[in-house]
Structure 1
Amino acid sequence: MQPIIELNQVYKDYPQAGGRQTVLHGIDLRIAAGEFVAIVGPSGNGKSTLLNLIAGIDHPSRGEIVVAGHALQNLGNERLARWRGEHVGIVFQFFQLLPALSLLQNVILPMDFLGRLPKRQRRERALQLLDSVGLLGAADRLPSQVSGGQQQRAAIARALANDPPLIVADEPTGNLDSASADSVFDLFSHLRDRGKTLLMVTHNEALADAASRKLEIRGGRLHADSHREPR
């Protein structure tokens, strides 16, 4: 089966005083469609950098990244933004909802950017997604008017707006209390059961143990790659 994610000898460098710092060293990786992968390891070892490269948020310094059939290193910023809107849903630790827009408007926004659905259908789909994460009654509220857990659930609904095959999440429970984290945990388990490909950076052991595969990054290198039955 053709992998949905393929990395070949990927390096990422950043300029620093007196030279360059290499954050990722020769990463080789294959992830099949439908896998639920947790990326773990100590802070500052390249986990989020790897996630950003796969999501097309950042560019590799060297190497090849192919996601959903597209070689990302060959795409300019405008084409990359369009590709990301079609193929990737992103969930951030600090939600990144636009504060002046309602939860409903935040979920509609990715659909407006892509423009695949008529406007009436965008609203209907956004309401369905908010309902699926338990937020239909809060659709017209601003992010500041709901809890952190509710904001993160709205962010997950937004990530699903264009029905992307790949969902990436960077510490999705890192800014939540335990009850809210459990709610997000349940949503990710549901997405796994629906066959979405999930790639998630986390320090949450319970969330990592829900994954069918765990990648450990240390010193910018793939230190361990384990497959198992999710709990």
Structure 2
Amino acid sequence: MKKIIELKQVYKDYPQAGNLQTVLHGIDLDVVSGEFVAIVGPSGNGKSTLLNLLTGIDHPSRGEVIVNGAALQKLSNEKLTRWRGANVGIVFQFFQLLPTLNLLQNTVLPMDFLGKLPKRQRQQRAMQLLEQVGLADAADRLPSQVSGGQQQRAAIARALANDPPLIVADEPTGNLDAATADAVFELFAHLRDQGKTLVMVTHNAALADAASRKLEIHSGRIHADTPTRVG
């Protein structure tokens, strides 16, 4: 199986009160194509920092971060932005939809940025993705005109816009009620079944158990790395 993620002795330091605080300590991690990895552990232990390194939003202080064949620590910010648009779909806890664009326009936006598809095909693909997440009837609504669960489903459609090999989600159900969270997670399970590689930070134990692999992060270190029953 192809390795989508390779982390080699990754450290991340942040300056704090004149000193360096190490948030991640010597992380080694391989994730192969088609895996669904849940990252769990207490708040403030480095889970979101790890996701930011995988997406190129942040840089390692030491070590190597290789995602889909690209050594992210070697790329300029401009190249990273372009790489991210083609290789990673990001789903945030707070949705991060642009408030002045409707759901269709929000879904088209990553395709406009990357420019891989001809313009006439972008809206068609965006509508197909909104239909896939059950939002075809809400395509012309603004984010403020739909529920939190619908906004998160639209954010998932947007993350899929450029058909990236990797989907990364940071607490994607953290602001949703239990029933809505279940519906959103069904979407992730469907993406897993389609062969997408998924890495998700979650505090929800049931959701973590539905992944194929569970990483426990404590004090910036991988405390446990176990396959779940699903895997």
TM bracket (short chain): over 0.9
Q: What is aligned with 2:31? A: 31
Letter in 2 for 1:94: F
Q: What is aligned with 1:134? A: 134
Q: Which runs of 5+ in 2 are unaligned?
A: none
Q: What is aligned with 1:7? A: 7
Letter in 2 for 1:57: I
**Aligned with 1:4: secondary structure?**
strand
Q: What is aligned with 1:151? A: 151
Residues 156-176 of structure 1, C-alpha deviation per residue, up to 9 Å, x if partnerless?
Answer: 000000000000000000000
Q: CA deviation at 1:64?
A: 0.2
Letter in 2 for 1:218: H
Answer yes or no: is the 8 Å Cα contact 2:214–2:227 preserved in 1: yes
Letter in 2 for 1:207: L
Q: CA deviation at 1:2?
A: 3.8
Q: What is aligned with 1:215? A: 215
Inter-partner Cα distance in structure 2 for 1:182 and 1:28: 31
1:64-83 equivalence runs, <5 A: 64-83=64-83
Inter-partner Cα distance in structure 2 for 1:219 and 1:64: 20
Letter in 2 for 1:31: V
Q: CA deviation at 1:19?
A: 1.0
Letter in 2 for 1:136: A
Q: CA deviation at 1:229?
A: 2.8
Residue 200 of structure 2 is aligned to residue 200 of structure 1: yes
Bigger mean CA deviation after superposition, 158-167 or 50-59 = 50-59
Letter in 2 for 1:139: A
Answer yes or no: is the 8 Å Cα contact 2:215–2:226 preserved in 1: yes
Letter in 1 for 2:33: A
Inter-partner Cα distance in structure 2 for 1:50 and 1:185: 21
Letter in 2 for 1:217: I
Letter in 2 for 1:194: Q
Inter-partner Cα distance in structure 2 for 1:99 and 1:42: 32
Query: Which portions of structure 1, spanning 4 or more consecutive aligned residues, are displaced by more than 3 angstroms?
Result: none
Residue 101 of structure 2 is aligned to residue 93 of structure 1: no
**Aligned with 2:141: secondary structure?**
coil
Q: CA deviation at 1:16?
A: 1.2
Q: Which runs of 5+ in 1 are unaligned?
A: none
**TM-score (normalizing by structure 1):** 0.99
Q: CA deviation at 1:108?
A: 0.3
Residues 44-73 of structure 1, C-alpha deviation per residue, up to 9 Å, x if partnerless?
Answer: 000000011011111111100100000000
**TM-score (normalizing by structure 2):** 0.99
Letter in 1 for 2:41: G
Instruction: State the aligned residue count.
Output: 231
Identity of aligned residues (%): 78
